[in-house]
Structures are given as C-alpha cells and as structure tokens.
Amino acid sequence: MPDEPSIRVAAAHEVGDLVALAGRALGWRSDEPNEELFRWKHLDGPFGPSPLWVAEVDGKPIGLRVFLRWEWEATHGGRFDSVRAVDTATDPAFQGRGVFRALTLHALDDLRAAGVDFVFNTPNDQSRPGYLSMGWRTLGRVPVGIRPRGWGGLARTARARTAAEKWSLATSVGEDARAVFADGTGVDELLDRVGPPVGLRTRRTAAFLRWRYGLGSLRYRVLLRTGRPEDGLVVFRLRRRGAAVEATLCDLLAPAGDRAARRDLVGLLHRHAPADYVIGVQQELVRSGPTVRLPGQGPVLTWRAVAVGEPPAPFSNWSLCLGDVELF
C-alpha cells in the first residue's frame, strides 16, 4: 500500500507537471492547449492567481486542487472575496483513497486563514454529494432556456442528447472579444451605464472582461448593438453538441433599464450566429422573445461559507449569466 500523501501549496513553476497529472486523471488530449488554458485561468486572473494545492507521495504529485479567485458586488455596495471550486484531479492509482476530500478540506483551512468569504461552484450530479458532505449547500438550479433557429435547428437540437464540446468553433460573425475589450474605448463607459447590481453580481471591470473573454483558444466573440461598445454588447461562443451547434450567450451588457437594448442584442445573436439554437440564462432569453424552457436542466449552484459568518444570499438574489458558471 502506498504511503499516505502529504499536502502542500503548489508553486506556479509546477504548472506543467500539474497539467500533466490532470491530463492523466481526466483524459485530456495531448493535442489540446490545456496548459495554455490552465495558465490563463489560474495565473492571469484579475482577482489574483489561483491558490493551488498538491498532494504527493515520495515527492511525486498524485493529487491536485485549485480554487479560482472571484469577486462579487452587492446592492448595498459591499464586496465579497470568494473562490470558485473548479479544477481537481487524482492520479488513477490513488483514486478512492480520499485524496480529493483531504485536499479540499486542507484548502478550506488555508482559505479561511486568508480571509476568503465563501466558495461557490456548479458541481455535476456525480460530484455534488461529495461537496455536500463537506458542508456545501445547494442554493438552486440556474434556469436556462434555448431559442432554436428554424425547424431544422429545432430537429438537430432535439437529437443533441450529449454534453457540449469543451472547445469552441471558429466563426467570423461579430468581433474578436480580445480586440473589443483590449481597446477599452467605450467599455468603461458601458460598465458605468450598466449601473449598480441588483442583488449579488460578479464585479465586472474592464480588466475582468479582458481576462474572462480574452483567451484566443476559446474563441469568444462579441456583437455590438450599434457599433459602439457603450451602447451595449453580447458575448458568445459556438460549440458543437452532438449533431447541433449551439451559441452560448455568455454575457450581455446594456445600459440599466434599457429593455430594448437587451432585446436587440439577443435578437442580433439569434439572427446572425451560425448555430442551431441560442442557449442562455432563461431570464435573458424569456424577456426578449419566444424561448423553449429546459426544465430540470442548467447548472446547480452550491455554496459554502469560509470566513464569512452570515448565511448565503437567497438564490433569487444572485444575478448570474452563463459566463459566471460555464465550465471552462
């Protein structure tokens, strides 16, 4: 029987070895830009680099746990420093020995000492029970809906009974999100016009948008309502889901109270995206036109206190878009 693993904080220079471990454990393909994705996600984020922990035996890494830093802003002007439980992997030879649980509980102790308020994530049905056993709470299912494009799109959508692919498809529709957010012209003005949050919302800044939608291999695109970012924009990407192609409505930014702008932006995406359907948070789609609701579908949001002493905000107070909760 192998020795019990020890747990320590991992350093940025170990990323290559940790990605290799995750690749073995999770079946990542060697021809995919997984290390680029990992470095972007965990080293370049606007809220600071992700804390990483590694479990090892005889100096060899056998387990990995990473929490992505995230910040929220509330109606009353308060802010919360949180982390999103995202990447974890255990070497196949050590699976079933409690490595994931040990890493997660160790990480929570370190995060509490660092003053992190809470952790959130959207675990799947298989991993959710493990989180709940460690003190996570289920807050609710993020309601999503789709808007098919024509009868052919509806038929292909109905047959697409599989998960969407991880990597995006290329398209020339819209503008490269990297260029839109790197320029900055009009983006700060748009963020000012969006207004304060109603409930709890990701703290969106120009730096956040440049990072969140700036990885080239994920191919995020932007449609502008008028050609000027300050008048509103929608961020999307295309992915294949079985026989269908979906356009994920990741984020929609429009001046506060301008329902026509929001409706126009969803309409632009629906008309121009080369996809069989648009998928998004149900609230955005329902407000803008006919939508097929997906009962029992959508990610389940879970939450656990770390340093904060108050209970979580009611699920109805969380202002979420798919860009906040999509797996990437």
Q: Which pLDDT score is estimated for 59? A: 87
The neighbour count for residue 325, using CB atoms within 10 Å, is 20
Q: Which pLDDT score is estimated for 148? A: 87
Q: Which domain holds residue 177?
A: 144-293
User: Are both 78 and 169 inside the same structural domain?
Assistant: no
User: Are both 228 and 268 inside the same structural domain?
Assistant: yes
From 51-55, 148-152, 199-203, the region with the lowest mean pLDDT? 148-152
User: Are both 198 and 282 inside the same structural domain?
Assistant: yes
User: What is the per-residue pLDDT across 8-23, written as a single tens digit (0 to 9) for each?
Assistant: 999 989 999 999 999 9
Q: Which pLDDT score is estimated for 29? A: 86
From 16-30, 37-51, 156-170, 257-271, the region with the lowest mean pLDDT? 156-170
User: Are both 66 and 148 inside the same structural domain?
Assistant: no
The pTM (predicted TM-score) of the whole model is 0.93
User: Are both 209 and 307 inside the same structural domain?
Assistant: no
User: Are both 304 and 288 inside the same structural domain?
Assistant: no
Residue 319 lies in a domain: yes
pLDDT higher than threshold 70 for residue 295: no
The residue among 41, 74, 47 whose CA lies nearest residue 326 is 41
Residue 240 lies in a domain: yes
pLDDT higher than threshold 60 for residue 1: no
Residue 195 lies in a domain: yes
Q: Which residues contact 261 (CB under 8 A, 6 or more apart)?
A: 225, 231, 232, 254, 255
Residue 263 lies in a domain: yes
User: Are both 177 and 108 inside the same structural domain?
Assistant: no
The distance from CA 60 to its chain's CA centroid, rounded to whole angstroms, is 30
* Mean pLDDT score of the chain: 90
Tokens of 255: 């001046």
- In the sheet with 144-148, reading across from the earlier edge strand, the strands are 175-176, 221-224, 233-241, 244-253, 277-281, 144-148, 292-293
User: Are both 164 and 285 inside the same structural domain?
Assistant: yes
User: What is the per-residue pLDDT across 233-247, written as a single tens digit (0 to 9) for each?
Assistant: 999 999 998 889 999
Q: Which pLDDT score is estimated for 77? A: 79
Count how many domains the chain has: 2
Residue 1 lies in a domain: no
Residue 217 lies in a domain: yes
Residue 196 lies in a domain: yes
Residue 11 belongs to a domain with what CATH number? 3.40.630.30
Residue 284 lies in a domain: yes
Give percent of the chain with pLDDT exceeding 90. 70
User: What is the per-residue pLDDT across 37-85, written as a single tens digit (0 to 9) for each?
Assistant: 999 999 999 999 999 999 999 989 999 999 999 999 998 878 999 999 9
User: Are both 261 and 197 inside the same structural domain?
Assistant: yes
Q: What is the DSSP string of 208-248?
A: HHHHHT--GGG--EEEESSS-GGG-EEEEEEEEETTEEEEE
Q: Which pLDDT score is estimated for 286? A: 58
User: Are both 82 and 189 inside the same structural domain?
Assistant: no
Name the DSSP class of 169: B
User: Are both 22 and 38 inside the same structural domain?
Assistant: yes
User: Are both 97 and 202 inside the same structural domain?
Assistant: no
